[in-house]
Amino acid sequence: SQTIHQWPATLVQPVGSPLSLECTVEGTSNPNLYWYRQAAGRGLQLLFYSVGIGQISSEVPQNLSASRPQDRQFILSSKKLLLSDSGFYLCAWIAGGITDTQYFGPGTRLTVL
Amino acid sequence: QKEVEQNSGPLSVPEGAIASLNCTYSDRGSQSFFWYRQYSGKSPELIMFIYSNGDKEDGRFTAQLNKASQYVSLLIRDSQPSDSATYLCAAPDTGRRALTFGSGTRLQVQP
Protein backbone atom coordinates (compact mmCIF):
# COMPACT_ATOMS: atom_id res chain seq x y z
CA SER A 1 0.00 0.00 0.00
CA GLN A 2 1.02 3.57 -0.55
CA THR A 3 2.01 5.87 2.29
CA ILE A 4 3.14 9.48 2.41
CA HIS A 5 5.47 10.94 5.01
CA GLN A 6 6.18 14.51 5.98
CA TRP A 7 8.68 15.97 8.38
CA PRO A 8 9.06 17.69 10.60
CA ALA A 9 5.57 17.53 12.12
CA THR A 10 5.90 20.93 13.75
CA LEU A 11 8.37 23.74 13.32
CA VAL A 12 8.87 27.14 14.94
CA GLN A 13 11.19 29.44 13.04
CA PRO A 14 12.20 33.12 13.35
CA VAL A 15 11.47 35.58 10.58
CA GLY A 16 14.27 35.61 8.02
CA SER A 17 15.43 32.06 8.71
CA PRO A 18 15.58 29.37 5.99
CA LEU A 19 13.10 26.53 5.61
CA SER A 20 13.19 22.98 4.33
CA LEU A 21 10.19 20.67 4.49
CA GLU A 22 10.38 17.17 3.12
CA CYS A 23 7.78 14.81 1.73
CA THR A 24 8.31 11.23 0.60
CA VAL A 25 5.90 8.72 -0.89
CA GLU A 26 6.20 4.97 -0.62
CA GLY A 27 4.58 2.20 -2.60
CA THR A 28 4.15 3.94 -5.93
CA SER A 29 6.27 5.24 -8.77
CA ASN A 30 6.17 8.46 -10.76
CA PRO A 31 3.37 10.03 -8.72
CA ASN A 32 2.10 13.56 -9.24
CA LEU A 33 3.12 15.45 -6.08
CA TYR A 34 1.67 18.62 -4.59
CA TRP A 35 2.39 21.17 -1.87
CA TYR A 36 -0.56 22.97 -0.31
CA ARG A 37 -0.67 25.56 2.44
CA GLN A 38 -3.57 26.13 4.79
CA ALA A 39 -3.51 29.33 6.81
CA ALA A 40 -5.39 29.32 10.12
CA GLY A 41 -9.12 29.02 9.49
CA ARG A 42 -8.67 29.16 5.73
CA GLY A 43 -8.92 26.83 2.74
CA LEU A 44 -6.22 24.93 0.91
CA GLN A 45 -3.92 26.95 -1.33
CA LEU A 46 -1.99 25.05 -3.99
CA LEU A 47 1.65 26.18 -3.95
CA PHE A 48 3.51 23.79 -6.27
CA TYR A 49 2.95 20.62 -8.18
CA SER A 50 5.27 18.20 -9.93
CA VAL A 51 4.59 15.55 -12.55
CA GLY A 52 8.14 14.17 -12.55
CA ILE A 53 11.74 14.52 -11.38
CA GLY A 54 12.94 18.07 -11.82
CA GLN A 55 9.53 19.25 -13.11
CA ILE A 56 8.01 21.91 -10.88
CA SER A 57 5.04 24.17 -11.55
CA SER A 58 4.55 27.17 -9.31
CA GLU A 59 1.08 28.45 -8.54
CA VAL A 60 1.82 31.38 -6.29
CA PRO A 61 4.80 33.74 -6.78
CA GLN A 62 6.34 34.23 -3.36
CA ASN A 63 9.46 33.48 -1.37
CA LEU A 64 8.95 29.71 -1.47
CA SER A 65 10.44 27.20 -3.88
CA ALA A 66 10.09 23.48 -4.46
CA SER A 67 12.31 20.74 -5.78
CA ARG A 68 11.92 17.11 -6.71
CA PRO A 69 15.36 15.52 -6.59
CA GLN A 70 14.03 11.94 -6.65
CA ASP A 71 10.91 10.30 -8.00
CA ARG A 72 9.19 10.01 -4.63
CA GLN A 73 10.70 12.99 -2.82
CA PHE A 74 9.33 16.52 -2.83
CA ILE A 75 10.95 19.38 -0.93
CA LEU A 76 9.60 22.81 -0.04
CA SER A 77 12.15 25.52 0.73
CA SER A 78 12.59 29.14 1.55
CA LYS A 79 15.70 31.26 1.94
CA LYS A 80 14.04 33.80 4.24
CA LEU A 81 10.76 33.15 6.02
CA LEU A 82 8.07 35.80 6.41
CA LEU A 83 5.44 36.01 9.14
CA SER A 84 2.84 35.30 6.45
CA ASP A 85 4.46 31.91 5.76
CA SER A 86 2.96 30.51 8.95
CA GLY A 87 0.45 27.77 8.31
CA PHE A 88 -0.20 24.09 7.86
CA TYR A 89 1.80 22.66 4.94
CA LEU A 90 0.41 19.59 3.28
CA CYS A 91 2.03 17.31 0.75
CA ALA A 92 -0.26 15.27 -1.45
CA TRP A 93 -0.07 12.75 -4.25
CA ILE A 94 -2.50 11.55 -6.83
CA ALA A 95 -3.25 7.93 -7.59
CA GLY A 96 -3.75 7.63 -11.31
CA GLY A 97 -6.90 6.49 -13.03
CA ILE A 98 -10.23 8.00 -13.92
CA THR A 99 -10.89 9.41 -10.51
CA ASP A 100 -7.42 10.89 -9.85
CA THR A 101 -7.98 10.57 -6.13
CA GLN A 102 -5.66 12.75 -4.09
CA TYR A 103 -4.22 11.68 -0.75
CA PHE A 104 -2.59 13.92 1.83
CA GLY A 105 0.34 13.48 4.14
CA PRO A 106 0.06 14.25 7.86
CA GLY A 107 1.24 17.84 7.38
CA THR A 108 3.78 20.19 8.93
CA ARG A 109 2.62 22.96 11.26
CA LEU A 110 4.92 25.96 10.69
CA THR A 111 4.93 28.97 13.00
CA VAL A 112 7.05 31.94 12.02
CA LEU A 113 7.76 34.35 14.89
CA GLN B 1 -9.35 29.80 -12.68
CA LYS B 2 -11.75 27.03 -11.75
CA GLU B 3 -13.78 27.73 -8.60
CA VAL B 4 -15.45 25.55 -6.02
CA GLU B 5 -17.80 27.28 -3.61
CA GLN B 6 -19.00 26.15 -0.20
CA ASN B 7 -20.87 27.79 2.64
CA SER B 8 -18.36 28.17 5.47
CA GLY B 9 -20.92 27.44 8.18
CA PRO B 10 -20.90 26.44 10.92
CA LEU B 11 -23.72 24.04 10.19
CA SER B 12 -25.13 22.81 13.47
CA VAL B 13 -27.30 19.69 13.64
CA PRO B 14 -28.48 17.55 16.57
CA GLU B 15 -27.14 14.06 17.03
CA GLY B 16 -29.04 11.55 14.91
CA ALA B 17 -30.18 14.13 12.34
CA ILE B 18 -29.24 14.34 8.65
CA ALA B 19 -26.52 16.85 7.83
CA SER B 20 -26.60 18.29 4.32
CA LEU B 21 -23.45 19.89 2.91
CA ASN B 22 -23.49 21.67 -0.43
CA CYS B 23 -20.96 22.67 -3.05
CA THR B 24 -21.12 24.41 -6.43
CA TYR B 25 -18.43 24.47 -9.09
CA SER B 26 -17.67 26.66 -12.07
CA ASP B 27 -16.03 24.27 -14.54
CA ARG B 28 -18.64 22.46 -16.63
CA GLY B 29 -15.90 20.14 -17.83
CA SER B 30 -15.30 18.69 -14.36
CA GLN B 31 -15.99 14.98 -14.39
CA SER B 32 -15.34 13.85 -10.83
CA PHE B 33 -15.83 15.33 -7.40
CA PHE B 34 -14.44 14.59 -4.01
CA TRP B 35 -15.47 15.06 -0.40
CA TYR B 36 -12.82 15.26 2.28
CA ARG B 37 -13.20 15.49 6.04
CA GLN B 38 -10.69 17.48 8.07
CA TYR B 39 -10.57 17.36 11.83
CA SER B 40 -9.02 20.33 13.59
CA GLY B 41 -5.24 20.20 13.34
CA LYS B 42 -5.25 17.17 11.05
CA SER B 43 -4.82 16.66 7.33
CA PRO B 44 -7.83 16.10 5.06
CA GLU B 45 -8.97 12.50 4.59
CA LEU B 46 -11.02 11.29 1.65
CA ILE B 47 -14.61 10.34 2.42
CA MET B 48 -15.85 9.56 -1.06
CA PHE B 49 -15.83 10.58 -4.70
CA ILE B 50 -18.52 10.70 -7.33
CA TYR B 51 -18.35 11.04 -11.09
CA SER B 52 -21.80 10.06 -12.31
CA ASN B 53 -24.99 12.05 -12.05
CA GLY B 54 -27.23 10.89 -9.25
CA ASP B 55 -26.51 9.45 -5.84
CA LYS B 56 -23.68 7.37 -4.48
CA GLU B 57 -24.02 5.80 -1.04
CA ASP B 58 -21.32 4.59 1.32
CA GLY B 59 -22.50 3.69 4.79
CA ARG B 60 -23.99 6.80 6.43
CA PHE B 61 -22.68 9.03 3.63
CA THR B 62 -24.43 9.83 0.37
CA ALA B 63 -22.91 12.02 -2.33
CA GLN B 64 -25.21 13.61 -4.88
CA LEU B 65 -24.13 15.08 -8.21
CA ASN B 66 -26.14 17.23 -10.58
CA LYS B 67 -23.92 18.20 -13.51
CA ALA B 68 -26.61 20.29 -15.20
CA SER B 69 -26.83 22.51 -12.11
CA GLN B 70 -23.09 22.19 -11.33
CA TYR B 71 -24.00 21.13 -7.82
CA VAL B 72 -22.58 18.49 -5.50
CA SER B 73 -23.83 17.62 -2.05
CA LEU B 74 -22.94 15.30 0.81
CA LEU B 75 -25.56 13.91 3.15
CA ILE B 76 -24.59 12.42 6.48
CA ARG B 77 -27.33 10.30 8.03
CA ASP B 78 -27.57 9.61 11.75
CA SER B 79 -25.01 12.34 12.47
CA GLN B 80 -22.68 11.66 15.37
CA PRO B 81 -20.59 14.08 17.45
CA SER B 82 -17.53 12.40 15.90
CA ASP B 83 -18.70 13.77 12.52
CA SER B 84 -17.95 17.28 13.76
CA ALA B 85 -15.26 18.51 11.39
CA THR B 86 -14.71 20.68 8.33
CA TYR B 87 -15.87 19.12 5.08
CA LEU B 88 -14.03 20.05 1.89
CA CYS B 89 -15.42 19.70 -1.60
CA ALA B 90 -12.95 19.38 -4.48
CA ALA B 91 -12.97 19.11 -8.26
CA PRO B 92 -10.09 18.38 -10.65
CA ASP B 93 -8.53 21.22 -12.55
CA THR B 94 -7.24 19.24 -15.50
CA GLY B 95 -5.22 22.18 -16.74
CA ARG B 96 -3.13 22.14 -13.59
CA ARG B 97 -3.39 18.40 -12.88
CA ALA B 98 -4.51 19.28 -9.35
CA LEU B 99 -7.65 19.45 -7.27
CA THR B 100 -9.33 22.76 -6.62
CA PHE B 101 -10.79 22.86 -3.12
CA GLY B 102 -13.64 24.81 -1.67
CA SER B 103 -12.99 26.69 1.54
CA GLY B 104 -14.86 24.03 3.53
CA THR B 105 -18.01 23.84 5.63
CA ARG B 106 -17.65 23.40 9.37
CA LEU B 107 -20.13 20.89 10.76
CA GLN B 108 -21.03 20.75 14.43
CA VAL B 109 -23.08 17.81 15.69
CA GLN B 110 -24.66 18.59 19.04
CA PRO B 111 -24.99 15.66 21.48
pLDDT given for residue B32 in this prediction: 87
The string of DSSP letters for chain B reads ---EEE----EEEETTSPEEEEEEES-TT---EEEEEE-TTS--EEEEEE-SSEEEEETTEEEEEETTTTEEEEEESS--GGG-EEEEEEEEETTTTEEEE---EEEEEE-
Q: Give pLDDT tens digits for A59-111.
A: 886 899 999 999 999 999 999 999 999 999 999 998 665 567 889 999 999 99
**Chain B residues inside the 8 Å CB shell of A98:** 31-32, 51
Mutation target for B interface from A3, A5, A30, A44: give the one with most B CBs within 10 A: A44
Which residues, including other chains, have CB under 8 Å from residue B69's CB and lie 6 or more apart? Answer: none
Which residues, including other chains, have CB under 8 Å from residue B63's CB and lie 6 or more apart? Answer: B33, B35, B48, B49, B50, B55, B56, B72, B73, B74, B75
What gap in Å lies between CA A72 and CA A105, rounded to an integer? Answer: 13
In chain A, % of residues over pLDDT 90: 72
Q: Residues in chain A whose beta carbon is closer than 8 A to a beta carbon of chain B?
A: 32, 34, 42-44, 46, 49, 51, 57, 59, 88, 90, 94, 98-107, 109
Helix (H, G, I), strand (E, B) or coil at A84: helix
Helix (H, G, I), strand (E, B) or coil at A83: helix
